[in-house]
Amino acid sequence: MCGIVGYIGKSQAAPILLDGLAKLEYRGYDSAGIAVYDGQEIRKVKSRGRLKILNELTHGGETLPGTVGIGHTRWATHGSPSDINAHPHHNKDGSIVVVHNGIIENYLKLKKKLEGKNYKFVSETDTEVIAHLLDEYYQGNPLQAITKVMHRMEGSYALGILFGDHPDELYAVRKDSPLIVGKTEDGCMIASDVPAILRYTRDVTFVENGEIIRMTKEGMEFFNADQEPVEKISVHIDWDVKAAEKGGFEHFMLKEMYEQPRAVADTFSPRLKEGGIDIGELGMSTEELLKVKKLVIVACGSAYHAGVTAKYIFEGLARIPTETELASEFRYRNPILEEGTLVAVISQSGETADTLAALREAKSKGARVLGIVNAVGSSIAREADSVMYTWAGPEIAVATTKAYSAQLIAIYLLAMKFAFAKGILTGEELAGMLGDLKKLPVQIEMLLNNREKIQRFANRYLAARDVYFIGRGIDYAISMEGSLKLKEISYIHSEAYAAGELKHGTISLIEEGTLVAAVSTQKELYRKMISNITEVRTRGAFVLLVTNEDNTEAEKAADYVIYLPETNPYFTNSLAIIPLQLLSYYVAVGKGCDVDKPRNLAKSVTVE
Ligand code: G6P
């Protein structure tokens, strides 16, 4: 996720900016840059790659003298990681310079308009639109220009802005992307996150949506979007730097779980337009979509589990025959890919060796490959014929949570798009589904807020030797992910089973006290699942059931029930995964495991 830092004061700005950016490194980035007003003009240095390069280019900031500046670490969204796409971005004569964290959803429309007025764009970013738009509205009053631009932009943003003809001022504004400000001993700072400014101040003000800040050496003033002054109070932060990186959470995994409502919303919001789903980014016309006769989904780990969910949804909703396969298997079995087959590879990192090899195998056989990828500009994103990005932001914990949740959303959008194009879904049905989709972030948050209840439950199972996850249909898919989460971070042996298959072997492993986590979200399968739960309970299992509120038999059938809010039956995985993630997390914490870096595992597996 991009990181922003800004400083205005009596000290040299560049070293403070570089230091602040270094404290935001944990957020992940692919390029970085800073801009400083040197007494005459705003000078910029930016580069793809690590901050070390920026440090070398500026001799630790020495070559950029000046006491006001802004800095940025970029995690690519629009446009691949490159020197040109790195921030800061500027207007035509370089007198207005911006750094941005967030996504401007209507940037293409704005860009077109600005091009019509002869604005020239040098980068592929959405951010450059902001610099030109500010230029368009600027008539000597920065506050006025910023408020006008705010009214034109849709999406999320935290901005740091320098105006060359107001060199004693630093501006910032936010909507839906994090931004904090702090008064230091000799000036003011802005940042995306607390660690960047902790060294300089512990008194921090959290900027709310729609607020603009004007900072000078002496202090800061807050305004609302009507340019009226706003009173703010600061809070004292006593976290150490490590805790601050995790936003006060104990682990990155927990922080990222709490980022899921945002990751999910960021993945669907930019694609919901005029009552429909816009995935023009795929470069596939409706005719081309209709030519897809079969879908083959290939991935590894949790991304594979998202693919298993996809099979149920694509077949059930869009009536497209779908196969989901592990990339490590697919690549060596000489797959048959007939005309009309679309191969979708799913990957958070976009670098997983087996998934990349599977993509190449599919392409060599003439299939069209769609990449569902989180890391912009990654190998899979570059080599796939079409890319659909999940906007989860960088993930640090090895065990994926928010990227997986964003993958599910990408799958729902695609399946609905196909179903609508094929005439299976009516406009009214699609609208109903989109309504349910939009409710998911709040529902996920509700489930996350139930964490203490799950923690208490988890603490009873710290000594478990084996755990079984069971479900049918789409609930089997989520059981697989729940089981993987538990085993990878808590080192407890766990298995996911299609509930109906239990009696063909696995049931012999159930003993007195064995924990079985059952997921039952599909109404038509409630009865069948109750039978399976009874089968294991009569053999001594303790059953935790994750189900919907209308499952009236749940309390009688299981030992412990977690209810999910109501959603479309195709979207239940997005909700059911939350208690399962919390369960694994708290079991692992209770056992004292290294939650963020489980033994023997890597975040990105770039070897076979
Ligand atoms: C590793 C990670 C998993 C991930 C899998 C696939 O095993 O630990 O969390 O699901 O790789 O990674 P990808 O980057 O392709 O999604």
pLDDT for 291-303, tens place per residue? 999 999 999 999 9
Rounded to two decimals, the pTM is 0.80
DSSP letter string, 304-349: HHHHHHHHHHHHHHH---EEEEEHHHHTTS-----TTEEEEEEESS
Q: What is the pLDDT of residue 608?
A: 65
Amino acid at site 599: R
Pocket test for ligand 1, best of 297, 345, 347, 349 (most atoms within 8 A of CB): 349
91 with 147: CB under 8 angstroms?
Answer: no
Q: What is the pLDDT of residue 40?
A: 95
Label residue 242 exposed, middle or buried (CB < 10 Å: 0-12, 13-18, 19+): exposed
Residue 549 to residue 523: CA distance in whole angstroms: 11
Label residue 136 exposed, middle or buried (CB < 10 Å: 0-12, 13-18, 19+): middle
The verdict on whether omega for the bond into residue 88 sits within 30 degrees of 0, i.e. cis, is: yes
Q: Which atom of ligand 1 is nearest to the CA of 352?
A: 15
Residue nearest to atom 2 of ligand 1 (CA): 603
Q: Which atom of ligand 1 is nearest to the CA of 299?
A: 15
Secondary element (H or E) of residue 379? helix 379-383
Pocket test for ligand 1, best of 302, 305, 345, 487 (most atoms within 8 A of CB): 302
Q: Which residues are catalytic?
A: 2, 603
Cα 590 to averaged position of ligand 1 atoms, centre (Å): 24
Residue nearest to atom 7 of ligand 1 (CA): 301
Q: Which atom of ligand 1 is nearest to the CA of 375?
A: 14
DSSP-H helix ranges across 172-233: none
At what angle are helices 260-268 and 402-421 packed, to 10 degrees?
30
Cβ(55) – ligand 1 distance below 6 Å:
no
Which ranges of the chain have pLDDT less than 70?
1, 607-608
Q: What is the pLDDT of residue 588?
A: 97
Residue 193 to residue 198: CA distance in whole angstroms: 9
Residue 175 to residue 1: CA distance in whole angstroms: 15
Cα 577 to averaged position of ligand 1 atoms, centre (Å): 17
35-63 tens-digit pLDDT: 999 999 999 999 999 999 999 999 999 99
DSSP-H helix ranges across 39-194: 51-57, 107-116, 127-137, 142-152
- Of 493, 509, 576, 500, the C-alpha closest to 533 is 500
Q: What's the angle, vertex CA 10, arms to CA 9 and CA 15, rounded to 5?
A: 80
Residue 310 to residue 313: CA distance in whole angstroms: 5
